[in-house]
Chains A and B, each alone.
Chain A
Amino acid sequence: MSKASIGRQTTWVEKALRVALYTVLLIMAAVYLMPFLVMLLTSLKDVEEIRTGTLLSLPSTLDLSAWSKAWGEACTGNNCGGISPYFLNSFQIVIPAVLISTLLGAINGYVISLWKFRGSDLFFAALLVGCFIPFQVILLPMARTLGWLGIANTTTGLVFVHVVYGVAFTTLFFRNFYQAIPGELVKAARLDGAGFFTIFYRIILPLSTPIIVVTVIWQFTQIWNDFLFGVAFSGFDTQPVTVALNNLVNTSFGGKEYNVDMAAAIIAALPTLAVYVLAGKYFVRGLTAGAVKG
């Protein structure tokens, strides 16, 4: 037996480095978790306790009233139904926008990588520019376009905006992923008699799970967290939850109810949190997924 096959002894230097590494990681985690902890604690206190206690003091009782108020009674502007309707609005925007932009990105990426045509690289380069256009730049032209299309201030309009803006990113994701797929796969399928969509649906899409997960998470977070487009293009009753949250925080009759604000903020953040917890593993895996073997 060679020496290498016996477990290697770790030196004390390595151990010390390990400890240092974990210390740094723990500190970083604490730094990132602290605000959330404060939010959570605050949301569970009543107004009186917030005023008298410190940021990190624990609530005396487990008081969920701020949560139910944020959900169903708090006033956003002069509408006092909590953030729940806007929460639903957000879903109505996010789900179609994510699905459509992901699907379009997949098809775009499929064409650009595996059905190259004259100028497809140029097309991709042009599309890539879309990733670098700041939100603010497209506000006015988009407002005109939405008006012209007759979907201003509607959920459809917001979905449209997010799809248009998101396609550059989703295409980039899928294109890079499909770049690693050997072109001979498509050639073989063409000789087998399959057409453009059959190949996509039967061969390419089943290989795409990792990148679909990445794209869905990315798009979901982007669109759910969007504020600017929400403010600019939503109507009175189609506002996404981010806009409602802002209105809620800015609307005060009498004293500021920080506990309600915090509860509302956490509620607004829950879906993205859930997506990360459920699919985060695949996110990392998908980002590092390499060539398709076999």
Chain B
Amino acid sequence: MANLVIDNVKKRYGTTEVLKGINIAIEAGEFLILVGPSGCGKSTLMNSIAGLEDVSEGRILIADNDVTYTSPKDRDIAMVFQSYALYPNMTVAQNISFGLEMRKVPKEEREVEVQRVAELLQISHLLNRKPAQLSGGQRQRVAMGRALARRPQLYLFDEPLSNLDAKLRVEMRTEIKKLHQKLGTTIVYVTHDQIEAMTLADRIAVMKDGEVQQLGTPQEIYDNPANLFVAGFMGSPAMNFIPAKVVSQDGNPMLELATNSTVTLPFPKPEALANHIGQTVLLGLRPEMITEPQPHKVGQDFVTTTDIKVEVTEPMGADTMIITRVNDAEINCRSNPAYPAAPGSVIEMMFDTSKAVVFDQASGQRLDI
């Protein structure tokens, strides 16, 4: 268990800068999730932490020791690679114990450890097989086992569940969460899966083009995205972005929407809009904040009921997504499947702006923080 500090790390391949000054500090025992679009530098950052790539600038500290120029094997890190990288010529048991063998753990201890890990991951019956004789999910568990057999200071998981079926993925996600709670080891974990990110993380770092856009708890990232990119990246379906004109009503800045009629919505931080009266800003509103009228919300602040015209509906089981147009932007609303919403019809919906955010249209920066 150790803390990890990534201090202004830059990585260049030739002239292209892949990491443009990454600053992340995580506590011992923390579970950090890295998310970001493909090619934003997540794997490069993981490799840099592990020492498999030299960084061009900056420092990496593990347990308060500067390891920037330490060789990978001396950093005391275990990593699960996206492609598993199992040794094809070795059996599952040999794969798991190889790291221990390299660290001169006596044979008996290694065997005990292999058994322990195999039981944990339910792969005891596979110990004598070669990787080629395993299914994808089994391979993934072996890759996990190889990392878990050791007790490193830091675990790095690079999209370890990306190739699993939905069910196995959920199971493994729970296993990983349990493991983390049990071992309390510091973990850095890359994923493209929103739910994985939200459920596993103590904190999430959202990356884009080699820069950290925001580092915060899942709830912070979800409720208080630093900019348009983070807001649009986290959450599925994505946050609605509605270009809305700021109008003054009784001295209060309000947001004007053209749904089926024209309404003005209140905003929880009116002072943030005070300087933008007459301008158009981007209103960010999560789909679950636009619902069928809910009796218990009636009369609350920041709740506005208005008519919309249904364009398309997408039943998702637990909810039905209703798609409509507001201010010429397509928006998603999350409603109860029982609520009648035939395409083409005009229905009443409730806009809750208590958690709404606003962005500058040009720069994408948050206006209300």
Contact of B87 among A185, A195, A293 (CB under 8 A): A185
> Taking the nearest CB of chain B, how far is it from the CB of A196, in angstroms?
11
What B residues does A193 contact at CB under 8 A? Answer: 73, 99, 102-103
* Contact flag A198-B102 (CB < 8 Å), given A187-B81, A190-B52, A191-B72: yes
What B residues does A203 contact at CB under 8 A? Answer: 87, 89-90
| Interface set, chain A 58-94, CB cutoff 8 A to B | none
- Which of B55-63, B131-139, B235-243, B267-275 has 4 or more CB atoms under 8 Å from chain A? B131-139
The majority secondary structure among interface residues of chain A is: helix
What A residues does B188 contact at CB under 8 A? Answer: none
* B262 interface residue per 8 A CB criterion: no
* B130 interface residue per 8 A CB criterion: yes
> Taking the nearest CB of chain A, how far is it from the CB of B258, in angstroms?
53
> Taking the nearest CB of chain B, how far is it from the CB of A208, in angstroms?
10
> Taking the nearest CB of chain B, how far is it from the CB of A198, in angstroms?
7
The answer to whether B89 and A207 touch across the interface, beta carbons within 8 angstroms, is: yes
> Taking the nearest CB of chain A, how far is it from the CB of B113, in angstroms?
13
| Size band of the interface chain B makes with A | 20 to 34
* Contact flag A206-B47 (CB < 8 Å), given A191-B72, A194-B102, A294-B134: no
What B residues does A293 contact at CB under 8 A? Answer: 88, 132
What A residues does B72 contact at CB under 8 A? Answer: 187, 190-191
| Interface set, chain B 68-102, CB cutoff 8 A to A | 71-73, 77-79, 81-83, 85-90, 98-99, 102
The answer to whether A294 and B88 touch across the interface, beta carbons within 8 angstroms, is: yes
A202 to B88, CA, bound (A): 11
Kindly report which residue of chain B lies nearest to residue A184, judged by CB atoms: B85
* A192 interface residue per 8 A CB criterion: yes
| Interface set, chain A 141-197, CB cutoff 8 A to B | 182, 184-185, 187-195
* A284 interface residue per 8 A CB criterion: no
* B50 interface residue per 8 A CB criterion: yes
Contact of B85 among A188, A195, A202, A207 (CB under 8 A): A188
The answer to whether B87 and A189 touch across the interface, beta carbons within 8 angstroms, is: yes
A187 to B49, CA, bound (A): 13
* A37 interface residue per 8 A CB criterion: no
Contact of B50 among A185, A189, A191, A294 (CB under 8 A): A191
> Taking the nearest CB of chain B, how far is it from the CB of A118, in angstroms?
11
The answer to whether B99 and A185 touch across the interface, beta carbons within 8 angstroms, is: no
Contact of B89 among A182, A188, A195, A206 (CB under 8 A): A206
Q: Give 5 pairs: A residue, B residue, CB < 8 Å, sorted on A.
A: A187-B50, A190-B72, A192-B73, A193-B102, A202-B98
Task: Pick the 7 closest A-B CB pairs, nearest first.
Answer: A193-B102, A294-B131, A192-B99, A206-B89, A184-B85, A294-B132, A188-B85
Extra contacts, 8 of them, besides A188-B87, A192-B98 (Cβ < 8 A), are A182-B83, A187-B50, A190-B71, A190-B72, A190-B73, A192-B99, A193-B102, A294-B139
